[in-house]
Structure 1
Amino acid sequence: MIENVKQKQQELATLTDSVEKVDLLKEISEYFQRKDPLQALQYATQAAEIAGRIGYDSGYAEAIFLQGKHQNNLGQYVESMKLLKQALSLFETLNDRTGYIKALNLKGMVNYRLGDFQDALVDLTEVLKSEEDIDDKSIRASALNTMGNIYSDLDDYDNALKYYQEGLEKFRETGDRNGEASILNNLGILYSDLGAYEKSLSHYLACLKIREEQEDPRGIAITLLNIGDLYMKQGEFGKALACHHNALDINTGIGNKAVEAHINGSIGKLWVKQEKWEKAIPYLEKATELAAEVEDRNLRVQTLKNLASAHEALGNMSDALSYFKMCYQIEKKAFDEEYKERIDYLKNRYEAEKKEKEAEIYRLKNVELARLYDHIRLISEIGQKITASLSLETILTTVYENINQLMKADGFGIDLYHPETEEIEYKFFIERGERLKPLTGSVHDEGSFSAWAIRNRKEVFLNDATQEYMAYIPKLKAVGADEGGETLSALYVPLIVEDRVVGVVTVQSFDPGAYTPADLDMLRALGNYIAVALDNARAYAELNKAIDDLKTAEVQMLQSERMASLGELSSMIGHEFNNILNGISSPVELIMSQPPLDEDVIWHCWESDQEGHELQAYLEERRQVWEKIREASKMIKLASDRAFETIRDLQAIAGGKSRKLGLTDIVETLEETIRLQRHKLHKIEIVKEIEAEQFRVMITSGEMGQIFMNFLVNAAHALEGQEDARITIRMRQQDGGVEIQFADNGKGMSEEVQKRIFEPFFTTKGEKGTGIGLTMVKRIVDQRGGKITVESQEGEGTTFTIWFPQEIQELSKHHGN
């Protein structure tokens, strides 16, 4: 075969017909797809360039498809997805059904590798439904293989095994040895997950034999990696390390970064299991770097956690905290993206279901279908409400308030599962309208239907609990208290998001035969929404806890290392959030102090105010109350926005890294900051001497707000108890730049204080001060190439002057124009 390829490569150099050259490039590219994916990609890219230039449309579509295929083999899944979408569009335009299904099958595989199971299942289901449209059985076999992977990752091993076995038969029928090896490898993974290690190893070895026969270095490396992981599970670390290093050596020759990332991660994990931290760290660092490059978020988070553990074990607390922060930032970003995607998906699904059911109701005019549609609409509405909330209590009560519109619910409950402790929290249960006290229990409790549903990841369907309970918990002598006492019918549905069980939802009735399969379907559909909502609420709570834990850790380290970077960050966080909370508390108090609507006045006006003068006066009074509330709400919103912006700015404040700069209207930022601090400034005269309506400076609004906030807070502190308190704020063009001054007529500072005013942790406020505010202001000004000075005399006041350089102004004017 090699001689044949060399012959074709020589033939390539002599071809003059461009179409023939494209076809030969594609043929050579497919030969190298497993032996050397990078070289295969180069041939496919060359074919696409020539085909595009000469207008060879079918050749161009097939070359683009091959590029996507090779990028997948190289672990570049995002780039592969872009190319496959382009190929699908081209095949559809050409009405090439076989090419379209082939590209759709590979797109499903890439969606799976990117963790998008929903889209992967949609793609692969269409492929399997299109068997009659194509003659190539290997495409169906490949789709079955990927379906098996998805169900395996979802821990649905029965379905996974079914798809793998059907796919294996198809591959063997077509003589596709590479496909056969792929499924054997996946069966090895499945049996490993089930703890059947001997079966797992036999399938891996069968796979390895085929891949060696096929001279497939990438496949060999992956199989050796899996065998090494299997040995590691069994505690045979020497064998595991040998397999991993062998896989790493083979992969070095083909340069597959995704495979290299997983191998390094496994070696690092192996050393971690043996508590050989220093040996683990280089491999984990390499795995983290490669995982970031190939955008494998799950692997990156896993390796970062292992790195944090390794450094913590070695006493490198600063490095451990750094890796924890990186891990937290990645997971936070993933949560934000996932939350938005879930909401969008649920909204789109709601609209699609709504239109579909409207069409069916109109067409069939079926009363039963109309009722079903109403239930789906209600489920979707409930789902939208609860997935839009991050409050656990709101989620629980919202579901309960609506459940009786869907089905009979004499008893209703939602239980939360905590896998880390293997405990079930019976958080919310209402029976006969009365909410019962929360309880906790073990997931291994053989007398609990909730525990059975969680352990088995299956529903419980009871229409005669006195007899049917035996099918689930045969050791139970009588229906337990948590099942409702008099309960005769019950449904229990495990709440699963992605592949994790997060709880159970149950409805119960005192009547026998209360539920139908349709009720179970509705509760299952509602359970999908509940699972997403609970997971969002859990993630939000964990995020808040992570922030609280971070603050606690920073305070503890500040006590022993006050000048360390972690201590500085802790003080900055405290300083900023104190200011932000101060900006929220007064508006809230203002809102709470407003009088309620006086119905007696309105009725009095209705009965006796013929001319309407009294009513008009009262309405004007209410309008003023409303204006106060609206203004206070705006101030709270501004403070909330500033809080989010402060969190985003923490990395820049702590590490010297800045986000992308923008042109900030500092006059507007000043007004916002003054409004936020109005509660502190209400007894102080604010004099603004600003030459122009707008000054735009290349700086983040968060940085500028921090500067203004510090000056206002410090000035207010200096003016405490002074009757003629005044702050004068000036902005003007000066020396080709912009100059900002904050002057107060407070108590002033001594020369000694002025010399130390910008030192970290120096404060004149005693226990009330952090000593970090002006340090932060100076850092921001210096970073932007500016200058800051202070002039003060005791008993007369203090003036701070900031100047930003000419370059910033010129850039601002250019962008402004």
Structure 2
Amino acid sequence: MESNIHSLKAQLATATGSERISCLLELAKATTGIDTPRAQQYVTEALTLAQKQGTHVGKCYLYFGIIHMKLGEYAQSLNALIQALEHFDAEQDTTNAARTRMNIGLMFLERNELQNAEPYFLQSLEDARTINDENLASYVYLNLGVLADKKGDPEHALTYYQQALALKKKFSDWSAVAGIHLNIGIIQLARNQLEEACLTTQQAAAQFQQLGDLHSLGLAWNTLGEIRIRQGKFKEAETYIRKALEISQTTGVKSLEIDAYKHLVQLYQRQQDYQNAFECLEHLQQLNTKQFNLEMNQQIAELKTKYESEQKAREAEIYRQKNIELARLVQQLQELNREKTELMGIVSHDLKNPLTGIISAIKLLLQEEDKLTPDTRLRFMEGIQNNSEWMLKMITKLLDANQIDTGYLKVTPIYFDPDPLLQDILCNHQQRAKAKAITLQYNPPPTPLAVYADLEAFRHIADNLISNAIKYSHPERRVYVRLLERGHRIRLEVQDQGQGLTKDDRSKLFRKFQKLSAKPTGGEYSTGLGLSIVKKLVEIMNGQVWAESEGKNKGSTFIVELPRSGDGHAE
């Protein structure tokens, strides 16, 4: 076993991809029961790789299930095995699905949940027959035999054991053959078929001796000792029991020694040799005490190992979570740094240019007042007004964005009909649309609608979307504005025939300071803040906003949905 583990470790050092997963699973199989925490680590690494590569995931869960079963962690075992079964069923991997069902049955069998175990064994057997896997069938028959035996159904137990025996002989699995013979002998003993039990158990003992399986040989000799006691053949009984006792002392298997002394007590009592019976009983009590202490120490050691393993897992999870949080903070800082850079660009360019124009116009008005005609002075004044309004709009948007980001912006939802407000906003944009020969088309809803939203926030949202549609549309196009009822929602749609959205545009949409591929068509300014403010206002009011476009130069439609009632849901 150790040489096999060393060989697998050597393969693991250079293995990659699917080969590494297989190697890890083989190592887990080899180390389970020897170094179970290490086996769990192998399977954990295998599962991580399997999930990345999309292969062997079911096998990893199967191995997890088997390991947890060995540790007596039945809830975790069942969970892992069910996940394995789901993967194998999805992949139509009948062989591994049947193996997994057998292990689920075995897990229930170990928990003594016999009614739960049986359906899984029977389904596994049916699958094994379907795929003609006689090796798998032999294991299932054996487990069904144990199940029937535990249920107190010796007839079915013997039938299953005989079927398993035939297949195990076919595959030359002599260790299993010997074990089945011993199980049959024990059933025959329970049914008081003493001669048959003796012959069958002697056959098992001979096979165990030939295989060099001392532990199982000790079990067989103890059983033969009990058979001979019942037959009244006390000398042969003591010979068998003493042989079992020798094996227990050679192998250090205390359970064999305890069983041997139990049989000796029984033997001497039958012979009315009360002195030896008392001495054996006294020794048996000492053994039971030692065994109890040993089992307690083993349980403590296992619990300590389990605790240390879980502690390491918890520490690894804490470390992973800290890394995730750190990555999130780094990303947040990078985003804030990008926004700061964009803001500095706005201050240095978008605000500086109109401010420079204002200062230049004022200087000219002051220095050349007598030389300027009234029309020229009026034109300069209009330029100052336009630049000032633009700067005010820019600063207002920056302040709005900051209020939303810091949580200072509060909304007060009320019920109102959005139609009159929308008509007022469209009226305010008619002059800008007319200047670009753009038609604003809006058909009011046939019946009054009620939306649950903040009045000024709704105005800001609609104003921004309509303004953008005009800004990014070429002259002589149409902008369609619709107000619709959609179940428990009110929908606002603003559709243009403009420059559309590319795939890259969609990834940037609704983020601050983002410049999209579309450019204003009439020399208008764009801060890159409008849509991000729209999104945050909509979300504050429990709504949704998104855009649809078939691609570049195919127009786009911006859609806002807000709740009709104050239940907080915009489905």
Common fold: TM-score over 0.5: no
Structure-2-length-normalised TM-score = 0.44
Structure-1-length-normalised TM-score = 0.32
Greater C-alpha Rg: 2
Q: Which has the higher contact order (CA 8 A, sep 6+)?
A: 2
